[in-house]
Amino acid sequence: MLKKELIRSFLSKFKKHLIIISLSSGLLVFFLTVMFPAMDPGSTDAVSSNWPRLMKDVFGDPLTGFSDIYGWFQLELFHITFWVIFGIFSSFLASHIIAKEYENRTIDLIFSLPIKRTTLIINRLISLLLLLFLAVLPTLLGCILGIASLKLNLNPLPLLAAILNGFLLCLLYAAISLFISLFTRSQTASILISLAVFGFFFLLSHMIIPIIPALKSFDVISPFHYYDTASILIRHSYSLLNPVILFLGFVVFSSLSCLLLEKKDIIC
């Protein structure tokens, strides 16, 4: 009963945040979708040729984005927007699992509950997963409504696969943020450090490695190597391994957090 109450209270605590982030993201995605320019390939090739290589690596290539709806989703939504919005949201939620308790000086009260600390983290991570899932759903709805308003035919599989990879990337984002928060004990610090970590890996995959190909072997340590929505949306190429690795990363960092929290002499 206590476990169910922990999940229910965590979910209830973030109802307003969930409503704000889900409605805002849904509307944003809808407007991004209806802005699809549907340019002919010749025109997009001219636009693309005027973009510097560095700009294409960081922000995406307009060559496919301006003429193909899947490429448009990659350029405007999944390349940066999706993981920044929901990554920060998931990091914010993760910071409330432990770090916020330290800031509010309620950590002793939480530790005094008749429940294992590992169980506490697992229950709050389940709540985080549910909140993130509910927050992401309006993104799919915004895409569908935008496509309907444009009267375009769309195979939903690439879109669903890209959203799944994005969802799992943000779960990994949350787990890493939780892990960091056990050392910082600060909500703000854990969010900012997590954003810096993911920002670094994004730049590594999309700017540093294209400039310095000799570093390509290091790309396997970047979460964005497995996020790879460009392959899904532009080349319609699917990898079962990528979402599995992202999920395993979430499990590994969540497990490390549980192990650390059980060692009172490290945490307190």
* Lowest mean pLDDT, pick from 50-54, 133-137, 236-240: 50-54
Q: Residues 93, 14: contact at Cβ < 8 Å?
A: yes
Tell me, what's the pLDDT at 68?
Answer: 81
Q: In the structure, what pLDDT confidence band is assigned to residue 142 with cuts at 50, 70 and 90?
A: very high
Q: In the structure, what pLDDT confidence band is assigned to residue 86 with cuts at 50, 70 and 90?
A: very high
Domain that holds residue 157: 2-267
- Three-class SS of residue 35? coil
Q: Residues 106, 96: contact at Cβ < 8 Å?
A: no
Percent of residues, the chain, with pLDDT higher than 70: 84
Please give the tally of structural domains in the chain.
1
The pTM of this model reads 0.89
Based on its alpha-carbon atoms, the radius of gyration of the chain, rounded to whole angstroms, reads: 20
Q: Roughly how many angstroms between the first and final C-alpha of the chain, as a whole number? A: 28
CB neighbourhood size of 115 (10 A): 14
Q: Residues 231, 70: contact at Cβ < 8 Å?
A: no
Q: In the structure, what pLDDT confidence band is assigned to residue 115 with cuts at 50, 70 and 90?
A: confident
Tell me, what's the pLDDT at 43?
Answer: 55
